[in-house]
Amino acid sequence: MVHTQKMGLIWFIPILYLLFSPSSAEIAAKPGVNYGQLGNNLPHPKKSVELIKSLKAGRVKIYDANPKILKALANTNIQVSIMVPNEIITAMAPNQSLADEWVRSNVVPFYPKTMIRYLLVGNEILSQPDNVTWFNLVPAMRRIRKSLVFYKLKKIKVGTPLAMDCLEASFPPSSGKFRSSVSESVIKPLLQFIHRTKSFFFIDVYTYFAWVPDPVNIKLDYALLQPNVSTYTDPVTGLMYTNLLEQMLDALYFAMKDAGYPDIRLFIAETGWPNGGDIDQIGANIYNAAIYNRNVIKRFTEKPPRGTPLKPFVVLPSFIFALYNENQKTGAGTERHFGLLYPNGTNIYEIDLSGKTALSEFKKPLPVPTNNEPFKGKIWCVAARGANTTALAGALSFACGQGNSTCDPIQRGGKCFKPDSLTWHASYAFSSYWAQFKKSGGSCYFNGLATQTAKNPSFGSCKFPSVTL
């Protein structure tokens, strides 16, 4: 996409406040944090709740209904969002008694001491390949809502967080449209449910993942919400955007308008920026993460609320992703580096989720970013230091089992057989596998057993395959 380098006057006048303010009066900004638990080195829930308080979070979202966490959050005045796991949605959709039992076990014992305010059914369901669950999503939400009414818990809003891939068009924002494969069968019933129950459209929105594929045309500062860097004007509506987040949110508003529900409220279920990642992942660093999250918190806590160009003055409630760097998350390195805190509870960078700390008041210098430009050179994939030997042997078998002569050189008599060690053979196999299968989705991860390196591990006549960027 192209950003025009021009500034303009505010194009909305205060009278429009009357058109969009009702939802603002019903909910406060109170940025919160997503408390993921996919780590084997995370603090106890009681300690975690103290850390959440220290970040001045107004809300917390967990990805289950962990009773230890819910007990630790009792009497804290922190609003809480809990989640029905994806795996039981299909079974719950036709079964009211299952929904009743879930609410009775996971909500009733903790409410109201724990301020459960949102009950999310599933997580990014439309991003999953299991399309059977897609069509059971809204029926399951109805079941949960009925259970909450039965137990006189009507203050708890029911929703489901979707990712931006629920859209099939998003640029320019005015072209926003939901995926045709789910628009009629899932999205419209979802919007009808949200409208009827006065809930929210929960969305996971990351400017990082929109910027990464096109860092030349999308300016990094535009994605980081830095002020006065560039603007984009929608050619259809004439609305002017000063950052990428506003564009993405308005694309959703336009999609909901296209679906017949122009007044649905948005709730940012996840947003954030990675503080680290793999060598081949551009822009994932502490500096950018701090700048983005500080800017987005400032943005969400402005008074009066600023909203978006299409929906000015509307409060955007939000959760920042995430509380910790989680070492057991799978996939690319960025997945394990979205935390505000290290697992030992120390800050990765200064942050105040209340938005009351001015940007100029953060005094600790941020490390200078070194990967804002794409890496140029060769990268190898080798066994991680301290990897479990049993698991490493299994990963070695997997890599060698993919064919294409992946492991021929480490067979007895091959150029890379010696030294005859598990770590050496696994490192060669990982590099060979990644070099061959990266373009088709292969990764240098192997359940945490592998890591990228820019240092050539080749030795003597043994030449390790590499990925060239």
DSSP 62-131: ESS--HHHHHHTTTS--EEEEEE-GGGHHHHTT-HHHHHHHHHHHTTTTTTTS-EEEEEESSSGGGSS-H
CB 273 within 8 A of CB 292: yes
Residue indicated by tokens 């959703």: 252
* C-alpha separations of 332 from 165, 340, 371, 448 in Å: 18, 18, 16, 10
Of residues 50, 101, 124, 373, which has the active-site annotation? 124
If we measure between CA atoms, which residue out of 238, 266, 315 comes closest to residue 12?
Answer: 238
Residue indicated by tokens 């929105």: 205
Residue indicated by tokens 């949960």: 144
Give the single-character DSSP code of 446: T
Assess whether 270 carries a catalytic annotation. Answer: yes
Dist. CA 24–CA 305, nearest whole Å = 8
Assess whether 326 carries a catalytic annotation. Answer: no
Residue 216 burial by CB count (10 A; 0-12/13-18/19+): exposed, middle or buried?
exposed
177 sits in which H/E element: strand 177-178
CB 251 within 8 A of CB 232: no
Of residues 50, 101, 168, 270, which has the active-site annotation? 270
Beta strands at 265-271 and 318-321: parallel, antiparallel or unpaired = parallel
Question: What residues contact 301, with CB distance under 8 A and at least 6 apart?
Answer: 29, 31, 354, 355, 356
CB 290 within 8 A of CB 349: yes
Dist. CA 452–CA 380, nearest whole Å = 6
Dist. CA 112–CA 110, nearest whole Å = 6
- Inter-axis angle of helices 422-437 and 389-400, nearest 10: 40
Backbone angles phi, psi at 468, to 5 degrees: -105, 125
318 sits in which H/E element: strand 318-321
157 sits in which H/E element: strand 157-159
Give the single-character DSSP code of 369: P
If we measure between CA atoms, which residue out of 371, 322, 313 comes closest to residue 16?
Answer: 313
Supply the residues annotated as catalytic.
124, 270
